[in-house]
Amino acid sequence: MAKFEKEINSAAELILASKYLVAFTGAGISVESGIPPFRGAEGLWSKYNPEVLDLHYFHRNPKDSWRVIKEIFYDFFGNAQPNSGHLSLSKLEEIGKLKCVITQNIDNLHQLAGNTVIHEFHGNSQKMICTNCSKHFTVTEVDLSVLPPLCDECHGLLKPDFIFFGESIPMDAYHASVRAAENADVFFIIGSTGEVMPASQIPVMAKQHGAKIIEINPEPSKYTHGLTDIYLQGKAGDILTQIVNNIILNHQT
Ligand code: APR
């Protein structure tokens, strides 16, 4: 029997029987697209100082913050493409099973993969906002060759439209995520350490409202030994592909 065959079957059966499947994703789902996670030995915070994403630091040192932000989010990861994990979640939406994705990621890869109902808990790096007049821009409208970028209307400082340390969660995404967690009967946790509040509480709410939890992560997380019902220890792309293939090959959908 292949590794995890029993667990993959159980996960596929749960999904097929589900009425409201929700996926909660963290940095781990984008690792196979070449985007490193935040934490751990290879994580971004082992190479960069997280203070560049602190709101107060950003306003005091916009040029310095922007130099690092551009290097990380636009030069290194700007061309990243969805991997088989993102594409599998898109397939699950297409066959009518996945109701929404709640993501902590700001990389826009769920959108590129084709999912249409996405609650962006931490915002999106492909959008920018003027810190003075709140005008919105897409990344392609902003010239990053001169830093910091300024608003073409009021010359205010532009900021990526993802949340920095010290900022609150966008209320619409927060409330939509809570509603989805409360409605879920099956809930994926994919590639998240579960260390960052308040996002980390969303899976807890799903469990409290009766959802079965399927977790995919090569390393155990804060959820694995308390919350998770089916733990699939592996890479998101590999495991999600196996689950979707199992559903498509072995079952009528
Ligand atoms: N497939 C699935 N999971 C993976 C993979 C993979 N191929 N590779 C690594 N992982 C797992 C790691 O084992 C780890 O548990 O992904 C997780 C990444 O953890 P974090 O870097 O802490 O990411 P996340 O939980 O999304 O962080 C939350 O912290 O500072 C921030 O705002 C940022 O949204 C981010 C938040």
pLDDT tens digit sequence for 147-204:
999 999 999 999 999 999 889 999 999 999 999 999 999 999 999 999 999 999 999 9
Beta bridge partners of 25: 103, 190
| Pocket of ligand 1, beta carbon within 6 A | 26-29, 31-32, 37-39, 43, 104, 122, 191-193, 195-196, 216-219, 221, 235-236
Omega of the bond prior to 148 within 30 degrees of 0, cis? yes
pLDDT tens-place string over residues 127-163: 999 999 999 999 999 999 999 999 999 999 999 999 9
On the question of pLDDT at 56 being above 90, the answer is yes
Mean of pLDDT over the chain? 94
Alpha-carbon dihedral sign for residues 15, 18, 22, 26:
negative
Question: Looking at residue 44, what is its pLDDT?
Answer: 85
Of all protein residues, whose CA lies closest to atom 7 belonging to ligand 1? Answer: 235
Cβ pair 114, 92 in contact under 8 A:
no
On the question of pLDDT at 98 being above 70, the answer is yes
Question: Looking at residue 129, what is its pLDDT?
Answer: 97
Of all protein residues, whose CA lies closest to atom 28 belonging to ligand 1? Answer: 196
Beta bridge partners of 103: 25, 120
pTM (predicted TM-score): 0.94
On the question of pLDDT at 1 being above 80, the answer is no
Of ligand 1's atoms, which has the minimum distance to the CA of residue 219?
A: 13
CA of 37 to the centre of ligand 1 (A): 5
Ligand 1 pocket test, pick from 30, 46, 106, 193 with the greatest ligand atom count within 8 Å of Cβ, gives 193
CA of 109 to the centre of ligand 1 (A): 15
Q: Residue 242 has which token pair?
A: 């196996």
Q: Percentages helix, strand, coil for the chain, rounded to the nearest 5?
A: 40, 20, 40
CA of 245 to the centre of ligand 1 (A): 25
* pLDDT confidence tier of residue 2, bands split at 50, 70 and 90: low
Strands 136-138 and 123-130: antiparallel
Q: Find how far residue 231's CA is from the centre of its chain.
A: 19
CA of 48 to the centre of ligand 1 (A): 16
Domain boundaries, the chain: 2-35+80-122+167-251
2-35+80-122+167-251 has CATH 3.40.50.1220 classification: yes
- As a whole number, mean pLDDT of residues 69-81 equals 89
Work out the angle at residue 82's Cα, subtended by the Cα atoms of residues 98 and 233, and round it to the nearest 5 degrees: 65
On the question of pLDDT at 30 being above 70, the answer is yes
- As a whole number, mean pLDDT of residues 226-235 equals 97
Cβ pair 142, 172 in contact under 8 A:
no
CA of 39 to the centre of ligand 1 (A): 7
Query: How far is the C-alpha of 115 from the C-alpha of 103, rounded, in Å?
Result: 12
Cβ pair 241, 248 in contact under 8 A:
no
């809570």: which residue's tokens?
Answer: 178
Question: Looking at residue 176, what is its pLDDT?
Answer: 98
Of ligand 1's atoms, which has the minimum distance to the CA of residue 121?
A: 34
Query: How far is the C-alpha of 38 from the C-alpha of 7, rounded, in Å?
Result: 28
209 given a catalytic annotation: no
Find the catalytic residue in 86, 110, 119, 122. Answer: 122
On the question of pLDDT at 252 being above 60, the answer is no
Question: Looking at residue 46, what is its pLDDT?
Answer: 87
* pLDDT confidence tier of residue 32, bands split at 50, 70 and 90: very high
Cβ pair 206, 189 in contact under 8 A:
no
Ligand 1 pocket test, pick from 101, 195, 196 with the greatest ligand atom count within 8 Å of Cβ, gives 196
